[in-house]
Amino acid sequence: MKSGIHPDYRPVVFRDATTGTAFLTRSTARTERTVEWEDGHTYPLVVADITSASHPFWTGADRIVDTEGRVEKFERRYGRRPRPATTEG
């Protein structure tokens, strides 16, 4: 590798802002914050808004979208428009 052009790839702790879950991995993310990890070493800390600990896809808390109810609500509010006639032939 060419020296001086690559970012520093080092251990970094990522913490979920919602759940507080933290994990140690390697990253090039830059941050001024630090945290003491379980092994007694101090690592840079990146606080993430969403991780697998809080994302609905990974937690199983997906919302089911009621599309039929949405269509009915739209039709009640704005009325149903007549479909244009089609000519077959």
- d(C-alpha 45, C-alpha 5), whole Å: 23
Please tell me the pTM assigned to this model: 0.61
Domain ranges of the chain: 10-78
What φ, ψ does residue 36 adopt, rounded to 5°? -90, 125
The count of residues in the chain is 89
Q: Which of 24, 27, 32, 35 is nearest to 7 (CA)?
A: 27
The tens digit of pLDDT for each residue in 6-53 reads 889 999 999 999 889 999 999 999 999 999 999 999 999 999 988 888
- d(C-alpha 80, C-alpha 28), whole Å: 55
Beta pairing partners, 48: 16
Beta pairing partners, 43: 35
